[in-house]
Chains A and B, each alone.
Chain A
Amino acid sequence: MQATRDFSHYVKHLGSGLAHIDLAVEGVSCAGCMSKIERGLSAIPDVTLARVNLTDRRVALEWKEGALDPARFIDRLAELGYKAYPFETVSAETAEVENSRFLLRCLGVAAFATMNVMMLSIPVWSGNVSDMLPEQRDFFHWMSALIALPAAAYAGQPFFRSAFNALRTGNVNMDVPISIGVILALAMSVVETIGHAEHAYFDAAIMLLTFLLVGRYLDQSMRRRTRAVAGNLAALKAETATKFVGPDEISVVPAAAIRAGDIVLLRPGERCAVDGTVIDGRSEIDQSLITGETRHAAVEAGSAVYAGSLNISGGLRIRVSAAAEGTLLAEIQRLLDHAVQARSRYVQLADRASRLYAPVVHATALLTMIGWLIAGASLHDSIITAIAVLIITCPCALGLAIPTVQTIAAGAMFRAGVLINSGDAIERVAEVDHIIFDKTGTLTLPELDVVNSAAVSADVFALAGRLALASHHPVAAALARTAGAKSPLPGVTEEPGQGVRGNFGGEDVRLGRPSFCGAEDLADEILRRDPEASVVAFAHGEKRCAFAVRQGLRPDARETVAALQKRGIAVEILSGDREPAVRAAAHTLGVPEWRAGVTPADKIARIEELKRQGFKVMMVGDGLNDAPSLAAAHVSMSPISAAHLSQATADLVFLGKPLAPVIAAVDYSRKALRLMRQNLYLAVGYNFLAVPIAILGFVTPLIAAAAMSGSSILVMLNALRGRRVRQEKV
């Protein structure tokens, strides 16, 4: 029974006989990969386009519709050594890409206008102290207006829109003072130009927009990059199911294309992508992803299985159930929705700053005007001075202060193996003082491992690994992987429920249950020491040995926990697993606080309790059962191996085997928050110097331009310090 793969779900038809598919590709990192893939795919007849996008790690393919099956591209990429998955662009990402292009367009227009207005302003500044004719100055001012007004109307859109939306809902954000400042500066400059005055502020207004757009664009491109990585992850994890399309014919289809009533095949070692009822077959399933319970449950015809269960021993035919409501997964989803709603909207640092900033600035401008009127100045001069105050305080550096730091810190964390899912995660991670770890898949590695390989001689281990290649059982698969076995033994037969046997060098070799290999005494000895382990026995002629297989702790878990505790962060384990297993892990890691056998609802209750005590809780977990508590915590993190739903909920995702990225996330975030605060002080400090000059009415366009670019550059340079954190021995 050979399964065909059906990718028609992902193929876009472009008309004129062309089809298009996007593939997410793992491991593309350099120019070599790029040209290798493009050449390899273009060599397939009928392919009209193969183009790698190195930023998003994707390949776009177009071909003449007809004989060519998209599965061929995946096979070709596999031959070239790359793992590829069909990719479906989610609408959120399309919007993000569109938005990023719009910002870049605005930035282009604003930068063009700034350069040209500057070209006209500098002669005016120098002409004012030399011998420029008033007519010439007016001509330069009018030319500036001609450039600056349409450019500001176009490039200012992101700010005007956001300010308008905020005002309509009765809020103030950073864009309100920006919009007021720009509009007033332009309006005043037009009035002054008509009145043949000496000073116009077209350059200041448009330069302000340019600097702010740089900040916006950086912020946006950081989010777009992480969104693309997250999108690829989702594609790599896209669930597939093996569906019966005829009595004996099966096809691998995306889980999204499965309907209730379909019958799917679940082989040993596969994870179930649907909820349903077993109609044929008998097996054990591992529901640890859903319930946290590591003990396997026996299923037979009539048993219910849930999405996320891992099939252990026998093939199952499952009828997909119609009722998605009331299933375990639906229950988790419901808890999750609730938790997401309940998560108090975190007010970002930038917004908090602008809430303070806008009223102070506007009050100062108003007081300046009133002060000058009382002092006997004309209404015209008082208004001009007040507007000069607004221009000089316009939050140019403030607008750059936070996005620049975020971009730099996100890049540094990316290199340390941490991906950021949500924009404000950095600020929230920096505040964390209590971390809750899930055990299975988070503190431990998601895959099974042979823990006593050192006790077995290398050649026996290698032989057992080769024999294990013949079995689909997950424990055998773990043995084969750990032994690094590549070539299976020929002529191996499987005895269902017992193990595999074959012949090597004229002697009988067996791998399987201890009773099958006559090694019960060895197995008992292992189980006495480590009741959590699964035992697989191996017999070669008269020789016997037993392997203990279990999920091992992450290699640096102990050091990471110690390092976190050293940083003043309390560490706790909450696990759905049984008590002895959790106790053993907590003891090994030196974690004083742990709870075993907790349900998803218990986890949320514990997080809420800690929140009430004033702790900022970070939840690190991977299972489906962790998803609601990830959403409930102040900030959350998942390993890349996590269930899809948890990963979508987590603020940060970390890569690879070690747990050290958790420390990196904390360190870089703390440093970033410190730099953000410094930047805010720098920006405000600049204003403290410049505002008195403006209030006294000494500000010229030259001073405004110098103050604005000076403070912006200072803030950007300070942000660059976020690339490194002090390395210490952990």
Chain B
Amino acid sequence: MEVIVFLVPLALLLGVFGLLGFLWSLKNGQYDDLEGAAWRAISDDDETPRTPGPSAARRGV
């Protein structure tokens, strides 16, 4: 059962990665337009000529 000493921290570490991913996406402005994002997911890629860089999103786009 000593193995849990490694396994539990390992599980937590994976959780931390998830949390960091969420915080990154939040900072990146991915939750600013939930309604639009839902539609963008089903529109064809080649119809959107330019995707904005992360710098644009951070400015509150």
Q: Chain A: residues with CB nearer than 8 A to chain B? A: 14, 20, 30-31, 34-35, 38-39, 42, 48-56, 60, 62, 89, 97, 101, 104-105, 108-109, 112, 115-116, 119-120, 133, 136, 139-140, 143, 147
Q: 8 tightest A-B contacts by CB?
A: A54-B36, A31-B39, A112-B19, A60-B61, A53-B33, A54-B35, A55-B35, A108-B22
B36 touches A105 (CB 8 A): no
Q: Quick one: given A31-B42, A112-B15, A136-B1, are A143 and B8 in contact (CB under 8 Å)? A: yes
How far apart sit A48 and B5, CA to CA, in the bound complex (Å)?
53
Interface: B54 (CB within 8 A): no
CB distance from A226 to the nearest CB of B (A): 15
B49 touches A119 (CB 8 A): no
A49 touches B50 (CB 8 A): yes
Would you mind naming 14 contact pairs between A and B with Cβ atoms under 8 Å apart?
A: A20-B59, A35-B48, A49-B56, A53-B32, A53-B33, A55-B32, A55-B35, A89-B60, A112-B15, A112-B16, A112-B19, A116-B11, A116-B15, A136-B4
A-contact 0/1 string along B1-24, CB 8 Å cutoff:
100110011011001101100110
A116 touches B12 (CB 8 A): yes
Chain A: CB-nearest residue to B49: A42
Q: Which residues of chain B are near A136, meaning CB under 8 Å?
A: 1, 4
Task: Pick the contact of B47: A20, A35, A60, A115 (CB < 8 A).
Answer: A35
How far apart sit A54 and B61, CA to CA, in the bound complex (Å)?
11
How far apart sit A20 and B36, CA to CA, in the bound complex (Å)?
21
How far apart sit A682 and B48, CA to CA, in the bound complex (Å)?
49
Chain B: CB-nearest residue to A94: B60
Which label, helix, strand, loop or mixed, suits the secondary structure of the A interface?
helix
Q: Which residues of chain A are near B8, meaning CB under 8 Å?
A: 120, 139-140, 143
How far apart sit A89 and B18, CA to CA, in the bound complex (Å)?
33
How far apart sit A62 and B58, CA to CA, in the bound complex (Å)?
14
Q: Quick one: given A35-B43, A112-B18, A136-B1, are A51 and B52 in contact (CB under 8 Å)? A: yes
Q: Which residues of chain B are near A112, meaning CB under 8 Å?
A: 15-16, 18-19, 22
B61 touches A109 (CB 8 A): no
A42 touches B50 (CB 8 A): yes
Task: Pick the contact of A108: B9, B26, B36, B49 (CB < 8 A).
Answer: B26
Interface centre among A38, A48, A55, A97 (most CB of B within 10 A): A55
Q: Which residues of chain A are near B4, meaning CB under 8 Å?
A: 136, 139
Q: Which residues of chain B are near A20, meaning CB under 8 Å?
A: 59
Chain B: CB-nearest residue to A100: B31
B15 touches A115 (CB 8 A): yes
B39 touches A30 (CB 8 A): yes
B26 touches A105 (CB 8 A): yes
How far apart sit A140 and B5, CA to CA, in the bound complex (Å)?
10
How far apart sit A112 and B26, CA to CA, in the bound complex (Å)?
15
B11 touches A54 (CB 8 A): no
B15 touches A52 (CB 8 A): no
- Extra contacts besides A35-B48, A39-B47, A56-B33 (15): CB < 8 Å: A20-B59, A31-B42, A34-B39, A49-B52, A54-B33, A55-B35, A55-B36, A97-B32, A97-B60, A101-B31, A105-B26, A108-B26, A119-B11, A133-B1, A147-B12
